[in-house]
Structure 1
Amino acid sequence: MNWTSQDKVIVQGITEPQAAFYAQQMKAGSTDIVAGVSPGNGGTEVGDIPVFDLVEQVLTQVDKIDISLIFVDSYQVLDAAREAIAAGIRHIIIFTPEVPPLDTIEIIKYAKASDTLILGPGSHGIVIPQQVCLSKLQSQAYQSGTIGTITTSQYLSYEVATELNQADLGHSIVVSLGNDRIIGSNLPQWLEILDRDPDTKAIVSIGQRITETEEIVTYCQERDYDKPIIVYLAGLKVPQEQIFRDAQTIITNHLSASIPAVNRDRQTIDRLKKAGIKIAKKPSDIPRLIQKAWSK
């Protein structure tokens, strides 16, 4: 993983109001947005960002594109992602929510074949404090530090950030996985990325679904990991659907996206503890659990 402020970024769907707003916000935060893409709007500008009809046209003006941020309509996401991958872009963040599941599965196929990292659909992006802002998140909420945070909740991530900031721990990176039921890169993939990241000394997973916790347990049981993992799962005692977010799991097991509501509070906690994972009952527990893990 090597996201830097020198990465050249495009915004697909830049003429969408939300895309235009966040593109200007990111550019003001030193993100190098070299162009926007919006079919039929080539030759115009959004702020001071030039707009092209096609991704390949941008490549006639710049040597390469490192990252694409996708804001197009949900039914146009598949075409936009394919266009970006075909242009050699290997990091794609899909901000658009509610992408048709079969379209997301197709995107995942293209991504795997080309070794492309997909974040989303329904992602809020990535923040590396004081370095990189590819996000709808408020980057000023996060201080620079050594804690990698993986989240599915924008607002819970702000709560955790407040606690980490007050404890002078800060963040090495904040990753929003996305809120769609099928997503391009899952929790285990990001646990592995952050476990290898030299700037990350501990990992915090913030979630609202049982299945996210099950993914962490499976990851920890299948491999050795070097860094403390802290889980904050909001609403653990509330009965909820078990939602499957990995496309392969859904297809191979002939599952729907979810199964009926259950309360697996005790079972989930026991499995986490057996895997050596620390559990935060509230955001204020997280700094203490990190410090305790480091002191061992």
Structure 2
Amino acid sequence: MSILINKDTRVLVQGITGYQGEFHTARMLEFGTQVVAGVTPGKGGIRVHGVPVFETVAEAIPPTSATAACIFVPARFAKDAALEAIEAELDPVVVITEGLPVHDVLQIVEFARRQNVHLIGPNCPGLTVPGQCKIGIMPNHLFMPGPVGVISRSGTLTYEIVAALTRQGIGQSTALGLGGDPVVGISFTDALRMFQNDPQTAAMILIGEIGGSAEEEAARFISAHVTKPVVGYIAGRTAPPGKRMGHAGAVISGTEGTAGSKIEALQAAGVKVATLAGEVAALVRGVV
């Protein structure tokens, strides 16, 4: 089993005719994802890698039965694209695009909440269910099916840790990249809840980083509601305060958002926290 998507998910790609949209549509198709439609205003009627392109989401859904959206639209148009997908009740809506203004993201997140649609991102790598479906930009070759759910704020750390798991023969149920911006859709807590309720997920990996309070909130949720083992890793132990490190959300303000505060909170919740990313797979091996 998996969370959010599976082999039956039918994906619509917004921005399919752009370089990134076209490239990653090909990779999703190679993975086995059912990419059934693309949307680019002004390009309706053409095909990209055999996928029909439509003018609007509303036009695309009836003939293709699309159920989920992946957005590669440039930042200045991404809000409208996301609202269009959410209004059509596609679920999940995965926003790969980075550089969205915070106010745009707040509007998207609130509309998704009202529509009861799972929003992933923005500025995220998407999600992958090994052997079934991939929405986004995660490398195809890293994954193998298995019992470990992966939740991360960092795309590249996800890839590094998943690759290490696969090398050790530890498969993944779903790998989910939340996004690195200060405001995103699905949170650590949301993902932990879904993995806790997934009978095929035996353990979870939480990959966090400096900035914000998402990991501390996750620790409180783990203490109260999670019975499955959780392994953690927090990037940014040596990051200087006040300097953004890679992601818009990766900045320490005062004593909040430090790696130390996150590690302390997770350990207090019973999470086994790795000192180095390379140690995560060994810790997981000890609990599954």
Q: Which TM-score applies when normalising by structure 1?
A: 0.87
With over 3 angstroms needed to count, the CA separation of the structure-2 counterparts of 1:57 and 1:267, relative to structure 1, is: closer
Q: Which residue of 2 aligns with 1:236?
A: 237
Q: Report the alpha carbon displacement of residue 267 of structure 1 after superposing the two structures with TM.
A: 4.1
Q: Report the alpha carbon displacement of residue 100 of structure 1 after superposing the two structures with TM.
A: 1.3
With over 3 angstroms needed to count, the CA separation of the structure-2 counterparts of 1:172 and 1:60, relative to structure 1, is: closer
Which structure 2 residues correspond to residues 95-110 of structure 1 after superposition, within 5 A?
95-110=96-111
Alignment partner of 1:290 is 2:275: no
Q: Report the alpha carbon displacement of residue 218 of structure 1 after superposing the two structures with TM.
A: 2.5
Paired AA for residue 216 in structure 1: A
Q: Report the alpha carbon displacement of residue 157 of structure 1 after superposing the two structures with TM.
A: 1.7
Q: Report the alpha carbon displacement of residue 208 of structure 1 after superposing the two structures with TM.
A: 2.1
SS in 2 for 1:180: coil
Q: Report the alpha carbon displacement of residue 201 of structure 1 after superposing the two structures with TM.
A: 0.7
CA deviations 1:105-142 (Å, max 9, x no partner) are 11111111111000000111111111111121112112
Q: Report the alpha carbon displacement of residue 162 of structure 1 after superposing the two structures with TM.
A: 3.0
CA distance in 1, matches of 2:258, 2:73: 38
Paired AA for residue 106 in structure 2: I
CA distance in 1, matches of 2:19, 2:220: 40
Q: Report the alpha carbon displacement of residue 47 of structure 1 after superposing the two structures with TM.
A: 2.3
Q: Is the 8 A contact 2:210 2:250 kept in 1?
A: no
CA distance in 2, matches of 1:279, 1:292: 13
CA distance in 2, matches of 1:168, 1:13: 36
Q: Report the alpha carbon displacement of residue 2 of structure 1 after superposing the two structures with TM.
A: 4.6
Which structure 2 residues correspond to residues 117-136 of structure 1 after superposition, within 5 A?
117-136=118-137
Alignment gaps of 5+ in structure 2: none
CA distance in 2, matches of 1:229, 1:163: 17
With over 3 angstroms needed to count, the CA separation of the structure-2 counterparts of 1:287 and 1:53, relative to structure 1, is: same
CA deviations 1:17-47 (Å, max 9, x no partner) are 1001101111122211111100111111212
Q: Report the alpha carbon displacement of residue 158 of structure 1 after superposing the two structures with TM.
A: 2.3
Q: Is the 8 A contact 2:154 2:177 kept in 1?
A: yes
CA distance in 2, matches of 1:111, 1:276: 32
Q: Is the 8 A contact 2:209 2:250 kept in 1?
A: no
Count of aligned positions = 280
Alignment gaps of 5+ in structure 1: 244-255
With over 3 angstroms needed to count, the CA separation of the structure-2 counterparts of 1:140 and 1:257, relative to structure 1, is: closer
Q: Which residue of 2 aligns with 1:73?
A: 74
CA deviations 1:223-251 (Å, max 9, x no partner) are 221111111112224334599xxxxxxxx
Cα RMSD for the two superposed structures: 2.3
Q: Is the 8 A contact 1:67 1:92 kept in 2?
A: yes
Q: Which residue of 1 aligns with 2:45?
A: 43
Alignment partner of 1:260 is 2:241: no
CA deviations 1:249-295 (Å, max 9, x no partner) are xxxxxxx996635584554433322211111112332233234445x
Alignment partner of 1:16 is 2:18: yes
Q: Report the alpha carbon displacement of residue 207 of structure 1 after superposing the two structures with TM.
A: 2.2
Q: Report the alpha carbon displacement of residue 197 of structure 1 after superposing the two structures with TM.
A: 1.2
User: Highest CA radius of gyration, 1 or 2?
Assistant: 1
Q: Report the alpha carbon displacement of residue 66 of structure 1 after superposing the two structures with TM.
A: 1.0
Paired AA for residue 80 in structure 1: A
Q: Which residue of 2 aligns with 1:160?
A: 161
CA distance in 1, matches of 2:192, 2:221: 8
Q: Report the alpha carbon displacement of residue 212 of structure 1 after superposing the two structures with TM.
A: 3.6
With over 3 angstroms needed to count, the CA separation of the structure-2 counterparts of 1:267 and 1:134, relative to structure 1, is: closer
Q: Is the 8 A contact 1:99 1:180 kept in 2?
A: no
CA distance in 1, matches of 2:73, 2:91: 18
Which structure 2 residues correspond to residues 162-241 of structure 1 after superposition, within 5 A?
162-210=163-211, 211-221=213-223, 223-241=224-242
